[in-house]
Structure 1
Amino acid sequence: MEILDILIVGGGPIGLNCVLEAQKNDLNYMVIEKGTIVNSLYNYPLHMRFFSTAEKLEIDGIPFISTAPKPGRQEALEYYQGIARQKNINIRLYEKVLNLIKNKDLFEIETSKSKYLAKNVVISTGFYDIPNLMNIPGENLPKVKHYYKEPYPYTRQKVVVVGSSNSAVDAALETYRKGAEVTMLIRHSEISKSVKYWVKPDIENRITEGSITAHFNAELLEIKENSVVFKDKNNQIKEIENDFVLAMTGYLPDFDLLRNSGIELQGECLNPVYNPETMETNILGLYLAGVVCGGKDTHLWFIENSRIHAEMIMRNILAKIPL
């Protein structure tokens, strides 16, 4: 069996950046991706726009040309998938890593389709594939959606949006403008301060004028076939009619993969242990890159500020190779 210099788990923007660094240094690599190239971006809402400008989403200095001040989902897909085609990257798509262990000096990787051996492994799996569940009765009903794609299915429907972050605000505004009756249930006392600055006044004005109903300091308790039950800011239990619940409660990294590979997780946020100068974890030769480094704090790392991880990792790997 071929022994790879590096196996990269995850074909998102940061995984691709690791690929480009590996190619420049003539390292033998492979990428394992359980979906399509930049799968998380593919699953974003159709009309999503990034907070970052185009140049801050670039990898390896390859220009990202956008006609808008803030690139959208489709432009990002064209950019990153175009790089993958142009650079002819060695990637296995729709293949999931099932087991990753270190045996002496080599990593043994078992996937849904094959087995691999590698001297080093980079986990760059992001966080978008595992919803942060509310763990309440009725959450498994078909009317509950943890991913929001577009507003058209919710026209003339009674929609409850749970959350107050960017995804929740976008879902609330878009469905309202396509004719939905929107109620937001928000655990905090205000709309999240992290909401995009050009969107935040819009949602606040819609709430103030009563176009969108918002219950602050509220908690969703139960989801029924035709209603939802929640506790309001006065601790009163209320029930309202409902057709769909958009649970924009965030997402989590694949903690099982991290644990099973031997990476230590610390604190309430399950922060993985790694060296911030090399991105190497407590397992020698096993590295982290991108959003996965933040544990449950998924707002800590994003494309713009984690592009540097690829160069840090490759520099450390190259330093270990005998001259």
Structure 2
Amino acid sequence: MPTGILAVTEQVEGAFKNISFEAISAGKKIGDALGGPLTALVMGAEGEAIAGQAAEYGADRILVASDAGLNDGLPDACTQAVDQIVAQCDPAVIVIGATSLGKDIAARLSARLQAPLAMDCVDVRVDGDQVVATRPMYGGKVLADASLSGSPAIVAIRPRAMEAVAASGAGEVETVAVSLEGTVLTLVEKHMESGKIDLTEADVVITGGRGMGGEDFCVVENLAKTVDGAVGASRSAVDEGWRPVSDQVGQTGKVVAPNLYVACGVSGAIQHLAGMASSRVVVAVNKDPEAPIFSKCDYGIVGDLFEVVPAITAEIEKLKG
């Protein structure tokens, strides 16, 4: 019976996403329980330059698929590469981040291998010979434990839900060849916003909702800049065309789990709460004292966000000198 663990990483422009280290740490935890080695997979032409970092989180073996066809993060190419690595490693468990790309790869891989899959997990453990994954259900109202029967078991973990813990690993780096024949997706165009923090990896998220009243998000953007945070938006703000879909937080947008989440003019619809329920500390600013968001926040301020938020920003700037 296989006992090895395969952690699939992600990189952007030659730098690992934080979820990669979280996936490796989760794999290390499972590997220690099963008594098997941990292998990390790095995909992309720039993988060799950063591969060694995986050893800092416990990877015993690091496989680098340096094919240039993996640079753009296209799901069919990445799935094909992971599938071939799985055939070589025969792991008991595959751990991957529940990012946009990770979810795509995990679902495709599960279908290819007829393997059990637990998506968007916030915890994973080994109970006897079973891998048990914990995941939110019903918009985060409950946490369900799912036992995965079969090999390999695929676990896609929610970004920032599990801590990346430093651990020593042998870190033997090996370049492997993969065949990408038969892939059909091609990248037509890419737009990169320099300096913009990824919502799913941000420590602080400042979100504007319908209460913003228009596309001028300056007060939210200024606060986010002051605290080195990312700017999010509720579905209603996105539907109004005030912010791009990439900024949407919620069940139909991005799921975030920052240390601090500030909701400005967000009423607190169920689908929005599902996207930020894992935030460590939630602060709400809304002029409606009956807004549902106040029942879910740690700190609430009833007032005009256009007065309250700039005042908060000014005080933080004073503290920072």
Same fold flag (TM > 0.5): no
Higher relative contact order (CA 8 A, sep 6+): 1
TM-score for both structures, normalised by structure 1: 0.27
Where is the helix percentage greater, Structure 1 or Structure 2? 2
TM-score (norm 2): 0.28
